[in-house]
Structure formats: structure tokens, C-alpha cells
A = this chain, B = another copy of it.
Amino acid sequence: MKNIFLKVSYDGTNYCGWQKQNNAVSIQQTLEKAISNITREDTELIASGRTDSGVHALGQVCNFKTSSNIPSQKFAYAINSKLPKDIRVIESKEVDFSFNARFSAKKKTYMYRIYNSEMANPFYYKYSMQVAKKLDMDLMSKNVNMLIGTYDWTSFYTYETNNPKNPVRTIYSADISKNNDMITFEIEGNGFLYNMVRIIVGTLIDIGLHKNERDIKQIIEKKDRLYAGATAKPQGLFLKEVCYQ
């Protein structure tokens, strides 16, 4: 038995998200089917975390165990030959048997794209959230800096029955920049609560539109979801990278 690490990139538009569901096509199910097709075994994939419907990945990581004697590096090519074009395995390698894509993850980086233009763009609507009114980039930048540090993020996640008990996470870096009408936000942390990045972005948008007079620091201190903004749309979110060391 070998433990195989996969780095995967996908356009989440046509999927119900990472996780298997009964009445919809998921990334996980599509990948497991392609792998089983190659290995002739049942496949159980473990991912670094779920992504929601419409959310994209540049570097999702997952792993599975197999008795197949396909060389580890060749798995990427073999699996890709069985996948639709909107999912690509960009790397495959053998890792230590103890490696678990979810529990071994040390850092994650997410990217969120905001298209700040009055006019919608047919090439961007699946890969960004459009905000028609001009956003105050200076004010947003100041607030992005307030995200860095170790905090209780209770104001910034969606309650679920299986939420982790501890809402403390550390953000190592956060950055926002603008290129023409496209704003790119990047955030790196040791972990993220459910919808945390999208709620942070929704709050930054409210701040950038001068619709929330509190700053990020004050909203963190409230420890109450009501003070943060709406959850920003899934199509602007990209899981960029997962680090394991």
C-alpha cells in the first residue's frame, strides 16, 4: 500500500463543491471515479478541506491509499486522462503513510477576486464577485492589515453543527491590490473557519463602500457575527495553496 499525494486545480462552476452529495456532481466524486477507473480499487480521497459550490481551487491537496503499482508521479497523467477538462491533477507523488491532507495541513492561502466595475464582464462573472460602486482601496488596505494576528474569529464564520470548538486562528499575511478594475485579496493562515474568507471579504466590501463604520479590529472584538458583512459570493473564491511543513 502506498499513500499518494495529489495537487489539484479546478473550476468549481459546474460542481456542487468538493464534498460528495446525493443529487449533484461533486469534485470529490469525479476525482474518486477517475482514480478508481485507473486503479480498479475503491478510492477514498481525503482533502485539505471542503470547498463550497462555485468555489475554485488552484492548489487543493488530497491523498488516497492504493495498492496500485502505477509509478507515483505518473498518477497525475493517468488520472487526467479520465477527468473532465475543468479538473486537473497538477502533481502526484508518494508521501509517508502518516500523511493526511486534512490533519497534516499547516497553512492555507486563499485568493478572492472582486471585479469593481459598473459594467459586468462576460469573462469574469464565474471567477469574481462584481461590485458596481467604487470601493475605497485605501480604507480597505488599512483594514486588511488588521487581519494579521491570532484572534477569536467568532464574528467571521457561519455556524454549523460540526464547527470546531475553538474559533481561534492565526492569520500570517493578508494583502489587497488592484489591477485595472480587478481587486485581488490574498490571505494566509493556519486554518479557516466555515465561510471565514467570504465573510471577511463581505465585510471589507461594506467597509470599502462606507456602509460599515466599524473597522475589522472592532468587529473581531465584538465576537458576534451580526457586526460583520454578508458572506461574499462563492465564485470569487480560490483555494490557492496548502502548506504541510
Contact = CB atoms under 8 A, between A and B. Distances in A.
B10 A87 contact: no
Interface stretch (A67-75, A121-129, A168-176, A187-195): A121-129
B9 A88 contact: no
Contacts of A125: 85-86
B120 A127 contact: no
A119 interface: yes
A182 interface: no
B127 A88 contact: no
A113 to B, nearest CB: 12
A80 interface: yes
The copy count of this chain in the complex is: 2
B85 A120 contact: yes
A127 B127 CA distance: 13
Interface in A83-115: 85-88, 90
A120 B88 CA distance: 7
Contact of A11 (B11, B119, B122): B122
Contacts of A56: 123
Interface string A141-182: 000000000000000000000000000000000000000000
Nearest to A90: B119
A122 B119 CA distance: 26
Given A85-B125, A87-B122, 18 more contacts: A9-B121, A9-B122, A9-B123, A10-B122, A11-B122, A11-B123, A56-B123, A80-B120, A85-B120, A85-B122, A86-B122, A86-B125, A88-B119, A88-B120, A88-B121, A88-B122, A90-B119, A123-B127
Interface of A: 9-11, 56, 80, 85-88, 90, 119-123, 125, 127
**Which 8 A-B residue pairings sit nearest by Cβ, starting from the closest?**
A11-B122, A86-B122, A85-B125, A88-B122, A9-B122, A10-B122, A88-B120, A90-B119
